[in-house]
Structure formats: C-alpha cells, structure tokens
Amino acid sequence: MTLYQPFLDYAISYLESHLELQPYPIPEGFERKSAVTGKGKNEQEVVTTSYAFQAPKLRQIRAAHVQGGNSLQVLNFVIFPQLSYDLPFFGADLVTLPGGHLIALDMQPLFRDDQAYQDKYTAPILSIFHNYQQHLPWGGDFPEDARPFFSPTFLWTRPKETSVVETYVFEAFKDYLKAYLDFVTQAEPITNPEEIAKIKQKQLQYLRYRSEKDPARGMFQRFYGQEWTEEYIHGFLFDLERTLELSAIRSH
Ligand code: DBV
C-alpha cells in the first residue's frame, strides 16, 4: 500500500456514499500511464493513474495518483463545481519527493476578499483548520502569485515524518472533505446570469493559473514526454476551457 492510496480510497468511498456519483470521461491513454526511470539498481517504474467522477452539483471530481517508489508519491485531488454554484474548489496536493513531503490542502475560494463569501465558506471550517495547524505548521516558501487562490484555511506544510502524513494529514484531509460535502449539500443553484458570469470568469482564472503553473509539469515531461503532458494538463487535469469550447460548438 503506497502512502496516498488510503487517501484516494477514502475519498472515493466517502463521495460514493454521499453523492449520486457518475463516471466522468477520461480521455483515452490517460487512465494509466507508465514509464521506467533510472538505470540498473536505480531502475524504477513510475505509474500515473487517473480517476474522474461527476455529481449533480459537481462538474468534475478528479484525481491523479503518481506512484514511483518510496521517494516519489503524489496525489493531486481536485473538485470543480458546476458554474451555477458559488462553491469553492476542493484542492489537495499531496506530494512526496526525495526532498521530503509537501502538503497543500484547501477549499479554494472563488471570491477571496469578499467578506460574505468568507463568512459562508471559511468561517465554518476555521475550527478544523486551527485544530490541525498546531500539528501541521506553515510550510514556508510559497509562490506569491498563487496566494489569491488560497483561503485563510489553507493548510500548507512540509512534514518531516511520514507518520505525520499518515495521521494528522490524513485526518485533516478527511475533515476537509466532509466539511466540503456539507457545503455541497447546502448549496443552492445561482440563477442570476450576472452572478453566473462572475463565477465562470473566476473558475477560468483559477483554471488558467493552475494549468499554466502546474508544478508537476516538469516531472510529467521527464517521465512521459511533452506531448502527453500538455494533453494531460489541458485535456484532463484542468479541462474547463476545452469543455466550454466543445459545448459552444455543440450548441451551434
Ligand atoms: N500539482 C498539481 C498537479 C500535480 C501536482 C495537477 C498531478 O497541481 C504535483 C500532479 N505539486 C506537485 C508536484 C510538486 C508540487 C508542488 C510534483 C513538486 C514540484 C517540484 O518541487 O518539483 C500547491 N504544489 C507544489 C507547490 C505548491 C503546490 C505551492 C510548490 C511549488 C513551488 O514552490 O513552486 N496546489 C499547488 C498550487 C496550487 C494548488 C501552486 C495553486 C492554486 O492548488
């Protein structure tokens, strides 16, 4: 059992039991990708598997799981709500590299500086955040231009011990996911076209940032090549723009 497999298993089974989960299409060639790196004794297979679902209020729930031995494990798990809901994104970036663990966990807001939005989507999880923050201290160095995309309850930490990932990080992941599903349950559809337009604009801003700045790009390029990587990023990991283009074509 690799480090993040229990996170993935928990998330899928929790979602299955609380939502009407349906499959979401994964483009051909992206369900599973494998490459062998290193030579001789250092030879190592790196396998990336993808998972994707949708649910009534959630446009895409998707995970990328990279497994390449003890010093290369990644689970990137993101939930993208439908454009007709003001829900935040659920975002988990759980990364283990030779240099150590790097954990990012958040409900990423659409309207970060809006007080009413914070009251709705940040205040209710502040106590969970404070519970874990004492065990999961701020991870330091952080790209300045990513700041607008994170909430005040952003857990960003670099645990020294794997046991911290298996305990506190796993518990925090479960609590954030549960709290997120409470928000989903309560969410009411937005009907005002102006508000929907604002949500769409914010979702696109987020998507563009993440696809342009994807910190995994270098890693994926090394293992699987540039063409596969770009298609994986734009055609699966962050696919909103493609999806909107397709629906515009279909509606003509
Ligand atoms: N990150 C992704 C996806 C990944 C992934 C889709 C499928 O967004 C993995 C894989 N993240 C990943 C890897 C690294 C990081 C690092 C492999 C290590 C990169 C390296 O050191 O070579 C949060 N993830 C990071 C970093 C941050 C995040 C801040 C450190 C990068 C740096 O310091 O430059 N999650 C990441 C992020 C957002 C987010 C930037 C922005 C909204 O949600």
Q: What is the CATH number of the domain that holds 150?
A: 3.40.1500.20
Residue among 51, 114, 56, 116 at smallest CA distance from 85:
56
How many Å lie between the centroid of ligand 1 and the Cα of residue 217? Answer: 9
Residue whose CA is closest, atom 34 of ligand 1?
A: 143
- Residue 103 near residue 158 (C-beta atoms within 8 A): yes
Which residues are registered as beta bridge partners of 46? 35
User: Among 102, 232, 240, which residue has the most ligand 1 atoms within 8 Å of its CB, making it the best to mutate?
Assistant: 102
Domains contained in the chain, number: 1
The Å distance, Cα 6 to ligand 1 centre, comes to 20
pLDDT tens by residue, 8-47: 999 999 999 999 999 999 999 999 999 999 999 989 999 9
Per-residue pLDDT tens for 157-168? Answer: 999 999 999 999
Residues in contact with ligand 1 (CB, 6 Å cut-off): 64, 74, 76, 91, 93, 95, 97, 102, 104, 142-143, 146, 149, 210, 214-216, 218-219, 237
DSSP 8-state class, residue 251: T
CB-based contacts of 45: which residues, under 8 Å, 6+ apart?
A: 34, 35, 36, 37, 68
pTM of the model: 0.97
Range of the structural domain that residue 182 is part of = 5-251
Q: What is the mean pLDDT of residues 232-250?
A: 92
Closest CA to 97 of 218, 229, 230, 232: 218
